[in-house]
Amino acid sequence: MSVANDDYAPSGEDAIPAILGRHLRRLRTRQGLSLERLARLSGVSRAMLGQIELGRSAPTITVLWKIARALDVTLASLTRFTEQGGVVVVRQSQTRTLVSPDGLAQSRLLAPPGEGRGADVFEIRLHPGGSEVGGGHPPGTGAHLVVAEGVVELRAAGDTILFDADVPYACVNVGDGDSLLFLVLSHTEILP
């Protein structure tokens, strides 16, 4: 399958209002709201909402917060700067692999930071004896670990495969060959 994606990253500050505007329009129309109805729900004028949707206005954080609350979405999902209606292709060449100081662990984020749609997905390769140590994520962050290859020992509070990631944890390759893991960190956003 060949997929072209010119909207993967904004091409500078000028692109941000246009992307935000298209995303706001998509969220509003999916909920069947007119500009007038969203204006009443949010307390943001119809004219301002129209300007935002056309990409002619860069709203303040307060205005964005009011709109997000009216749409019953998080501020993070409202201000996501990739096109939500299409396919985002992240080429391997667009990602960066982090290597531990001892060279036994490699970690690669499989989506741009914050664009994992509520989760960050990491590919982790551990050579024999290598370990991936984590923790200290914000409260509410959960982890789902998938061991695709190899033998791994998980050291965490409670030693579970689904665990809270706001406590220290470590994944250690205790086998003779490489281990391949996929770590999904899910982020819970609390709306007021």
**Domain boundary residue among 51, 78, 105?**
78
Domain shared by 70 and 97, yes or no: no
Domain shared by 101 and 159, yes or no: yes
Residue 28 lies in a domain: yes
The count of structural domains within the chain is 2
Phi, psi of 21 (to 5 degrees): -60, -45
At 38 the pLDDT is: 94
**Domain boundary residue among 78, 109, 131?**
78
Domain shared by 37 and 117, yes or no: no
Q: What length is written for the chain?
A: 192
DSSP SS3 for 174 = coil
Domain shared by 34 and 67, yes or no: yes
Q: Model confidence over 45-84: pLDDT tens digits?
A: 999 999 999 988 888 888 988 998 898 887 777 776 554 4
123, two tokens? 């590919």
**How far is it, in rounded angstroms, from Cα 191 to Cα 10?**
27
Full residue range of the structural domain in which residue 65 is found: 15-78
Domain shared by 98 and 52, yes or no: no
**Domain boundary residue among 25, 45, 78?**
78
Q: Model confidence over 9-24: pLDDT tens digits?
A: 444 556 678 878 888 8
Residue 84 lies in a domain: no
List the CATH number of the domain containing 102: 2.60.120.10
Domain shared by 115 and 162, yes or no: yes
**How far is it, in rounded angstroms, from Cα 77 to Cα 114?**
9
At 11 the pLDDT is: 46
- Which pLDDT tens digits describe the chain residue by residue (192 residues)? 233 333 334 445 566 788 788 888 888 888 899 999 999 999 999 999 999 999 888 888 889 889 988 988 877 777 765 544 555 666 777 778 888 889 999 988 886 655 545 677 888 999 999 988 876 666 667 777 878 888 888 765 544 466 666 667 788 888 899 888 887 777 654 334
List the CATH number of the domain containing 74: 1.10.260.40
Are 168 and 46 spatial neighbours (Cβ–Cβ below 8 Å)? no
Distances 48 to 45, 52, 57, 63, 67 between C-alpha atoms, Å: 5, 6, 8, 9, 11
Which residue type, as a one-letter code, is found at position 76? A
Residue 10 lies in a domain: no
Question: Does residue 42 come out as left (phi exceeding 0), alpha (psi in the -120 to 50 range) or beta?
Answer: alpha
pTM score, whole prediction: 0.49
At 49 the pLDDT is: 94
Residue 4 lies in a domain: no
Domain shared by 29 and 69, yes or no: yes
First to last CA, the chain: 42
Residue from 88, 64, 58 nearest 77 by CA: 64
DSSP SS3 for 149 = strand
Helix spans in the chain (H): 15-30, 35-42, 46-53, 61-71, 75-78
